[in-house]
Amino acid sequence: MPAGGVESRGATDDGDGATLGEAEIHDVLRNDRRRLVIERLRDDSGEESVADLAELIASIESGESPPPRNVRQSVYVSLHQTHLPKLDELGIVTYDDEEKRVAIADGADEVAVYMEVVPKYGISWAEYYLGVGVLGLLSVLGQAVGVPTLAALDPTLVAAAFLVLVVLSAAYQLLDQRSSLLHRLQE
């Protein structure tokens, strides 16, 4: 980090092995702009200019591409004055306030676990698997009690179909997480 940059005293860099607390992680992820910064840096090269991040976030928030100038400026100012210094202080990113550059830091891995387990929108993998399991169980029970539409199907076939769905879903989740991990390791 250049001499003029914000000094990073990240939670994992202070020498005592301290990590981010759960409350700090949830506080970070509670804000959409901070969450988007982390997602962008993890998904791409790991480094961006503040202007590019502001452009991306303003486009998402406004739903317009390119975003209106006032929205982009508002996002830029909040990133520069509030969000990036906070993420830098926690060791999630490194922020050079002179060069206006942001890079992913080691502390981001602690936050990433929460981003994968607790999605911003939609359902978590645990909720998905629970839904598939309950739907499969209800289908088999419906056949057993003679629900007209389900009674025409073979219970073994229905159970096997739901089992295959669970296995394919687990394989997809595993590959997705491994590719994400491999991408991070290659950086």
Any idea what the CATH number is for the domain that residue 46 is in? 1.10.10
Pair (84, 145) in one structural domain: no
Q: Starting at the edge strand that comes first in sequence, how are the strands of the sheet with 47-49 ordered?
A: 47-49, 101-104, 93-96
Q: In Å, what is the CA distance from 32 to each residue of 40, 42, 120, 177?
A: 12, 15, 9, 22
Pair (85, 171) in one structural domain: no
Pair (127, 60) in one structural domain: no
Pair (106, 161) in one structural domain: no
Q: pTM, whole model, 2 decimals?
A: 0.58
Alpha-carbon distance of 159 to 170, in angstroms, equals 17
Distance spanning both ends of the chain, measured CA to CA = 18
Nearest Cα neighbor of 88 from 13, 180, 163, 166 is 13
Q: Which phi and psi (to 5°) does residue 2 adopt?
A: -60, 160
Alpha-carbon distance of 92 to 142, in angstroms, equals 50
Contact between 54 and 61 under an 8 Å Cβ cutoff? The reply is no
Sign of CA dihedral 120, 126, 129, 131: negative
Asked if residue 72 is part of any domain, the answer here is yes
Give the domain range for residue 173. 123-186
Total of domains in the chain: 2
Predicted local distance difference test score (pLDDT) of residue 118: 57
Q: In Å, what is the CA distance from 73 to each residue of 40, 41, 62?
A: 19, 20, 12
What pLDDT tens digit does each residue of the chain (187 aa) get? 443 343 444 444 444 445 788 888 888 888 889 989 998 898 777 789 999 999 999 999 998 888 999 999 999 999 999 999 999 999 999 999 899 999 999 888 888 777 766 555 567 778 889 999 999 999 999 988 989 888 888 888 988 999 999 999 989 888 876 665 555 455 4
Q: In Å, what is the CA distance from 108 to each residue of 73, 104, 111, 170?
A: 26, 7, 5, 25
Pair (147, 84) in one structural domain: no
Pair (73, 140) in one structural domain: no
Predicted local distance difference test score (pLDDT) of residue 122: 64
Domain stop point among 81, 101, 116? 116
Domain stop point among 73, 101, 116? 116
Pair (33, 78) in one structural domain: yes
Pair (83, 66) in one structural domain: yes
